Structure 1
């Protein structure tokens, strides 16, 4: 087969990768080493101008000044003074070109790479990673903290997230009820298993299989010494204070402990970014909660050698309007927004793409939403073009036609 024919072939692959991805990977840092992902999901639409893409001296700049960082030539908002000291480990993409301006549709798009339709529910990126990467240890492969992650949909119960509503709080469902001894509880589980097996011999139901998977996972977790990773009461006070004794700080600290114990994907959820009014005091409050936690997480993972194996990414469903409204707020703005990345084999200290002078539209190197998902897959050695079959035998790609952002790895 000639080179011209190979490159022109539709869907051509080499070593299991689409040719267009092999071209995108040219010049990257070789074998990717990421094994874990921590996704900070900021629900509501986080202002790009007041965080990662300041516009000093412009009419859209707002109240916050830019500050220099440990990455030469890279500035971020003053609400992140501690994180600014870790920016040599991090990269920013300032040219995400979104298409969805409503919360539901935009959240769906950012978390799945697909545009929402009434015909099918796509799994979130955490479930995709869980589906493709082998589980490590007894803990769940996918944990969602302080909020629910997207459902696994056609990827099945094994790829669902384990939900932690309050980081550090004990899960009452992972212990036998008060007054039930371990021996008595184990006997009840044995009886339940016998009934389920008897029923399963006569039925072939997907719901039953999913229930059995959930029960087996819960029992394994309940009996595992690794369950201690969820407990924060043994963490030194100095460490907790460094991260911040807040829901977000505890969530970031818990995420660190979980990936150190083998969890593949941790999603830490934070809301309150829908700042149609009083944007600036709200964003200052967000900065106070997130700054020291993110800085401490990156510093600690770098110190123990886990940062190169862990991709940290912060996303929101869209940005906010560059123009400040009459209520001192910013409204929905999908046209261009930013994201923050660190670790996972990416080259820190750089900015990919830019928005225009006032932050209204991409200026150069537009990055599509699906490209972010393809980039996450690339860091983990997952082929984003791989197809899986739905229960109706419909082939679906893991990512909706995204291409990894190759500059992050060069």
Structure 2
């Protein structure tokens, strides 16, 4: 970034950038030294960023907003889905989410999401990166942006982890592999290949590392470029991780029986429990994916099955975070690429098709208002009636909750300008 780019930003954004840069590169926090415009913002000021971590729960396939968090009164729209009351006044949910209904006083429901992308790949990409897919550039994912602009909390373990998620949407993009998520398949298996072989002594392990170091230095001296340097950084990170006491965060087998019972036994439930353990140990951004929401056929049976996976795990996660005093610092996001049509396709065994014009996402914790509904769709859930929120706006809201500068321009290696949320603006009304 050159000086003319930097000068385009207001004083608060510039100061925030300096603070984040100091924290990332020097390990210090400069906020008290930056003058009144930042230091004067007390922690209790409405809208002040309060989140330290993000748990991003992605409903892959296009979650039906009508059968979950935006139910309507029209029988021809709802079919067999019935709405039930929740712990939050004036917020209803689908009948297959009874445990979630009991924690909706902690949740902000954004009913007015709207997107231009009605295909799975493109819709998922824009939700994860804020940008349309392009053949000429691979954009960083949200977690990569958080790492780049905000840095880590715990330097010994990955700051960004993706559980049961596609690496297509959790990569570092043009930031490089250093900022990509550490992938985890089964939550029960934890982080693979993170421990030295059991039959190798510490002395032998150190000897092997020394030999590898000598070979690496010869190679790096001959091929001095960005890709080689990125590999070297990942190599050093892996060694640091192997020796970290916080590696235990990845082992959910340590959890007590009561905690396991709170979340439930499914794979997604285990992913949510692992996510809580990770943020507890300083992982800054954790994504957990729940697939199967592409309900073109037999929508109601499919949604019921997906809700059974989501319901207890989501409610358990919010309850567990609050009990541990972590919900105030952790932003829990539920996102999806689009909703489903109000029209029920009888020829497809009562299925619903893709519907990007209107859908629902959720926010909880991290300074967000609980029991709050933002935006509204029409009587059929077909179009946004009030306060539309784009994927870029939604992502800017996540960035703002974390105190990450959503409007800071970063230049790609090709010299093109990019921002965390493109041109999106944070939805300030959702903050307490």
Task: Give the TM-score band, short-chain normalised.
Answer: over 0.9
Aligned residue number for residue 302 of structure 1: 322
Secondary structure of the equivalent of 2:227?
A: helix
> In the alignment, is residue 102 of structure 1 matched against residue 110 of structure 2?
no
1:373/1:203 CA distance change after superposition, 3 Å:
same
Aligned residue number for residue 13 of structure 1: 10
- Aligned mates of 1:166, 1:334 — CA distance in 2: 30
Q: Deviations over 1:8-41 (max 9, x none)?
A: xx956232279xxx9xx9x971421110000001
Aligned residue number for residue 143 of structure 1: 161
Where has structure 1 moved over 6 Å in runs of 4 or more?
none
Given that residues 191 and 250 in structure 2 are in contact (C-alpha distance below 8 angstroms), is that contact kept between their aligned partners in structure 1? no
1:129/1:48 CA distance change after superposition, 3 Å:
same
Q: What TM-score, normalized to structure 1?
A: 0.92
> In the alignment, is residue 402 of structure 1 matched against residue 420 of structure 2?
no
- Aligned mates of 2:368, 2:45 — CA distance in 1: 9
- Aligned mates of 1:310, 1:32 — CA distance in 2: 11
Given that residues 74 and 380 in structure 2 are in contact (C-alpha distance below 8 angstroms), is that contact kept between their aligned partners in structure 1? no
Aligned residue number for residue 31 of structure 2: none
Q: Deviations over 1:273-330 (max 9, x none)?
A: 1111111111111111111111111111112211111000111111111111122111
Q: Once the 2 structures are TM-superposed, how far is the Cα of residue 58 of structure 1 from its aligned partner?
A: 3.7
> In the alignment, is residue 244 of structure 1 matched against residue 261 of structure 2?
no
Of stretches 146-155 and 81-90 in structure 1, the one that deviates more from structure 2 is 146-155
Aligned residue number for residue 287 of structure 2: 267
Aligned residue number for residue 29 of structure 2: none
Q: Deviations over 1:368-410 (max 9, x none)?
A: 1100010001001111111112122322222210000111014
Match 1:290 to one of 295, 301, 310:
310
Aligned residue number for residue 122 of structure 1: 139
Q: Deviations over 1:150-172 (max 9, x none)?
A: 21111122211001101021444
Q: Deviations over 1:315-364 (max 9, x none)?
A: 11111111111221111110110001100101111110011100111011
Instruction: Specify every segment of 5 or more residues in structure 2 that has no aligned partner in the other structure, as ranges.
Output: 1-6, 16-36
Given that residues 44 and 271 in structure 1 are in contact (C-alpha distance below 8 angstroms), is that contact kept between their aligned partners in structure 2? yes
Q: What TM-score, normalized to structure 2?
A: 0.88
- Aligned mates of 2:223, 2:406 — CA distance in 1: 35
Aligned residue number for residue 249 of structure 2: 229
Secondary structure of the equivalent of 2:109?
A: strand
- Aligned mates of 1:55, 1:270 — CA distance in 2: 24
- Aligned mates of 1:359, 1:11 — CA distance in 2: 40
Secondary structure of the equivalent of 1:37?
A: strand
Aligned residue number for residue 27 of structure 2: none
- Aligned mates of 2:57, 2:47 — CA distance in 1: 27
> In the alignment, is residue 36 of structure 1 matched against residue 58 of structure 2?
no
> In the alignment, is residue 379 of structure 1 matched against residue 401 of structure 2?
yes
- Aligned mates of 1:204, 1:279 — CA distance in 2: 54
Report matched runs for 1:98-247 at 5 Å: 98-137=115-154, 138-148=156-166, 149-177=169-197, 179-247=199-267
- Aligned mates of 1:305, 1:56 — CA distance in 2: 38
> In the alignment, is residue 391 of structure 1 matched against residue 413 of structure 2?
yes
Give the number of aligned pairs.
Answer: 395
